[in-house]
Amino acid sequence: MADKRDYYEVLGVEKGVSDDELKKAFRQQAKKYHPDLHPNDKEAESKFKEVNEAYEVLSDKEKRARYDRFGFAGVDPNYGAGSTAYGGGNPFAQDIDLNDIFNSFFGGFGGSSARNRNAPRRGSDVETSISITFEEAAKGCKKEIQYDIVDTCKECNGTGAEKGTDLKTCPVCNGKGQATVNKRTPFGVVQTTQTCEKCRGKGKIIEKPCKKCSGAGRTKITKTVTVTVPAGIGNEQILNISGHGNCGYNGGPAGDLHVYINVKRHDIFERKGDDVWCEIPLTFTQAALGHEVIVPTLDGKVSYNVHAGTQPGDVFKLKGKGIQHLNSKGRGDQYVKVTIEVPRNLNNEQKKALQNFDSLCQSANYQKSTSFFEKVKKLFN
């Protein structure tokens, strides 16, 4: 009893909490540790019972008042509030079913599925990831991937029993999977329905466990599937492959496979939405006189005539050369940004030639610089 936690701490609330806040906290904690979400998890089962016990006391005004005044001794005979204090004539005596409390909040979630551990249940989802190239993302591809799942044991077909043997009806719960326990306390008889510890709620027991799965009915395997990656998929998007996750329970459907897509960076292309961008360097002469350049695209090389007088940062568009729209018709465009490469390490002859060229140029040839320096002159005058 020394390890028993304060009821307010169990539900994560402060003393003086309202009924509505108490109920909300109970629902959150009960869902968190419910046996349906944690099959065969003893720790979760223990916390679930702890949550129910805490709410059973704090939701009752009289019990809560006694608990606030005397602590556990006010509501639990094991703490010495004692049978001698009230004897058999407990004025607070009443029968309480904690399952009724839970079911009043959650309906079917905590009802039939909690009582019937043999009901079909969906398997959990599985996650994996793949890396694809820029081109594969743009145009789509097929990828074969391997990942680990929990699947039905092929040796025992999921029964958990050795091949050729049968499951036996649990002698403790007579196949019900649940046992009703009545506990008399100084404050009443508390009736609870709990999972049978012998069969863990299954209603059946395995006398000779399957050697391959050790009675679990499920084994871990490596599965191989071919995934179709649609054209236009983006980086960090997720593909959902239905029915390729962990197997279900008691004939329930399998979960899904979630495939996270990682698109590798490209040396030339950059994606912006469904458009493709790239930069092309031109020499000063090519930009000044115009030039036919070869532009790389997702469909191969194309020729483009850069007009004379092209400036650094100018952008031209190749319509329909972008990325396929995801799950629809049409494509984005490709945008090509021009950069001008300034020559380095010039020799004397090259420098002289440029100086001669510059002396031949007039203000009409350099409109931007002429305009800028005129503005500077006005600013300081």
User: Which residues in the chain belong to E strands, given as ranges?
Assistant: 96-97, 126-132, 141-152, 168-169, 178-185, 188-195, 204-205, 218-229, 238-241, 257-263, 270-272, 275-283, 291-297, 300-306, 315-318, 334-341
Task: Give tens-digit pLDDT for 243-278.
Answer: 999 999 888 899 999 999 999 999 999 999 999 999
Cα(276)–Cα(270) distance, integer angstroms: 6
Instruction: Return the pLDDT at 194.
Output: 79
What is the band of 36 on the pLDDT scale with cuts at 50, 70, 90? low
CA-closest candidate to residue 219, choices 237, 246, 200, 242 = 246
Distance of CA 226 to CAs 130, 134, 184, 229, 234, Å?
A: 12, 19, 61, 10, 19
pTM for the predicted model, two decimal places: 0.60
Cα(179)–Cα(194) distance, integer angstroms: 5
What is the DSSP code (8-state) at residue 249?
A: B
The residues that bridge with 249 in the sheet, in sequence order, are 121
Cα(168)–Cα(160) distance, integer angstroms: 12
Task: Give tens-digit pLDDT for 97-147.
Answer: 444 445 444 444 444 444 466 788 898 899 999 999 999 999 999 999 999
Instruction: Return the pLDDT at 87.
Output: 34
- Diameter of the chain measured on Cα atoms: 118
What is the DSSP code (8-state) at residue 80?
A: T
Cα(115)–Cα(38) distance, integer angstroms: 14
Instruction: Return the pLDDT at 334.
Output: 97
Helix axes 42-58, 61-70, angle to 10 degrees: 100
47's enclosing H/E stretch is: helix 42-58
Q: Taking 90 as the threshold, does the pLDDT of residue 192 lie above it?
A: no
Cα(131)–Cα(202) distance, integer angstroms: 43
Whether 257 and 146 have beta carbons less than 8 Å apart is answered as no
What is the band of 47 on the pLDDT scale with cuts at 50, 70, 90? confident
Whether 210 and 156 have beta carbons less than 8 Å apart is answered as yes
**Residue with structure tokens 């039905």?**
152
Indicate the average pLDDT of the chain.
Answer: 83
- Three-state SS for 86? helix
Instruction: Return the pLDDT at 159.
Output: 86
**91 against 55, higher pLDDT:** 55
Six-digit token string for 254? 């399998």
Cα(344)–Cα(331) distance, integer angstroms: 40
Instruction: Return the pLDDT at 188.
Output: 67
Cα dihedral 155, 160, 161, 167 sign = negative
Cα(256)–Cα(268) distance, integer angstroms: 36
Task: Give tens-digit pLDDT for 302-342.
Answer: 999 999 999 999 999 999 999 999 988 999 999 999 999 99
Whether 313 and 336 have beta carbons less than 8 Å apart is answered as no
What is the band of 94 on the pLDDT scale with cuts at 50, 70, 90? very low
Mean pLDDT within 5-32: 87
Q: Taking 90 as the threshold, does the pLDDT of residue 46 lie above it?
A: no
Q: Taking 50 as the threshold, does the pLDDT of residue 55 lie above it?
A: yes
Whether 290 and 300 have beta carbons less than 8 Å apart is answered as no
**Residue with structure tokens 């440029």?**
354
CA angle 137–142–146, rounded 5-degree value: 110
Residue 268: count of CB within 10 angstroms of its CB: 12
**27 against 221, higher pLDDT:** 221
